[in-house]
Amino acid sequence: MTKNKTILRALAGETLPTPPIWMMRQAGRYLPEYKATRAQAGDFLSLCYNPELAAEVTFQPIRRFGFDAAILFADILLVPQALGAEVWFVTGEGPRLSTITTQAGIDALKPVEAIHETLSPVYETVKILSNGLPAETTLIGFAGAPWTVATYMIAGRGTPDQGPAHALKAGNRPVFDALMERITDATVLYLSEQIKAGAEVVKLFDSWAGSLQGADFEDYSLKPMQRITAAIKALHPGVPVIAFPRGAGEHYRGTHDTIGAECIAVDDGVSAEWVAANVQTNGCVQGNLKSSHMVTGGDALVSETRRIVDALSKGPHIFNLGHGITPDGEPENVQLMIDTVRGG
C-alpha cells in the first residue's frame, strides 16, 4: 500500500518528482458543504463527537480536491474536555474553558486512562475514515502539543501572547509542570488509540511554540513532543510523526533529531530556501505557503507555489500551507494551488 501513498513515501525520506499535498484545516468553513454539515450537527462540539458527520466533513475536501491525505476532523481541546475541563465555543469568538491554575484544579481532573470514555466517538470517526478513504489517500491523526493545550487550559481561552500560561510557569512551576505532565500522558493514549483505529500518521500541533523563549522552547515545546513521539514509536513502530513547532524561526534547525519526528512542518515565517538549507537536510519537511494566498489567489499564488516547490525539490517534501486555511479562503484558489503543484 505504501507505494501508492505518496505522503508515506515522502515521510519515509523519498524525494518525489511531484510533492504530495494536503492542507491544514482543509475540512472547514471555506467550503459550502462543510457549512451545511455543521448546520446539520447544530454546533461545533456536536460535530466533533458525531462520527458520521465528522467523517463526512473529513471526506469533503478529498472528494472535491483529491488531496493526498485526509486529516481527522476534531479539535485540540477535546483532550482537555476528556480530562474533565469544561469546554464550550462562543460563536464568533472561539473556545472557552474552565481554567486550571492550582494543584487543586489538577487534582480534580480525571486520570488519563479515563479519557477514552469521552473520546470514543473520535476513534469511531477514524475507523469510518480508514474504511472509506480512497486507497491512495493517507489518513492523518493529530493532537495539540502539550504547551499549546496548556495555554488554553490555563487561560480559559486563546490569548494573543499566551500570557497566563507564561505567568503560571514563572510563578508556580510545580503546578505548571504537573499540568504539562498530565496533558503529555493523555496525548500519548489519545494518539495511540487513533492509530489502533486506523490512523497511518500522527501530527502534533504546537501552534504557540513561538512564544517560548530560551531554554523554555526546548523544555516545554520540543521535549514534550519528543516524549510523545518516543512513546508512540515504542507502541506503534513504523508509524511516522509530523511535528509542527509553529513560530520556531531559526530554532526549526535540528528539530528532526530533537523530537525524533520523520517530518517537521514549517510556518511561513521562514523561507523555503532557508528550510531547504537548514531543516530538510535532516528529513522530510512540510509547508509552507502563506494562507493569505488562498484568499487573494492569482499570479502571486502561482509564483509562490512554484518557488516553494522548486526550493524544496531536492529532498522529501509535503506541500502544505504555513498555517491553516482561513474561513475567507476561496475553493477556486485551493484548486489553483493544487493544479500548480501537480502541473508545474
Query: Would you please indicate which residues are annotated as catalytic (active-site) residues?
Result: 25, 29, 38, 75, 152
Q: Which long-range contacts (CB under 8 A, 24 or more apart) does 46-54 make?
A: 47/73, 48/73, 48/74, 48/75, 48/78, 48/121, 48/122, 49/121, 49/122, 50/121, 51/121, 51/122, 51/124, 51/125, 51/127, 51/128, 52/128, 54/121, 54/122, 54/125
Give the three cell numbers for residue 81.
474536555
Tell me the β-bridge partners of 140: 71, 201
Q: Which long-range contacts (CB under 8 A, 24 or more apart) does 1-4 make?
A: 1/135, 4/135, 4/136
CA nearest neighbour of 97 among 76, 111, 114, 113: 76
CA nearest neighbour of 268 among 293, 295, 297, 243: 293
Our measurement of the distance from residue 22's CA atom to the centroid of its chain's CA atoms, rounded to an integer in Å, reads: 12
Taking CA atoms, 333 is separated from 221, 291, 292, 341, 343, in Å, by 33, 11, 10, 12, 15
Within 10 Å of residue 291's Cβ, how many Cβ atoms? 19
- Show the beta-strand stretches assigned E in the chain: 69-71, 87-90, 94-97, 138-144, 201-206, 241-245, 263-265, 284-289, 317-321
Helix (H, G, I), strand (E, B) or coil at 42: coil
Angle between helices 173-197 and 146-155 (to 10 degrees): 120
Question: Rounded to a whole number, what is the distance in angstroms from the first to the last CA of the chain?
Answer: 26
Beta strands 87-90 and 201-206 are unpaired
Helix (H, G, I), strand (E, B) or coil at 139: strand
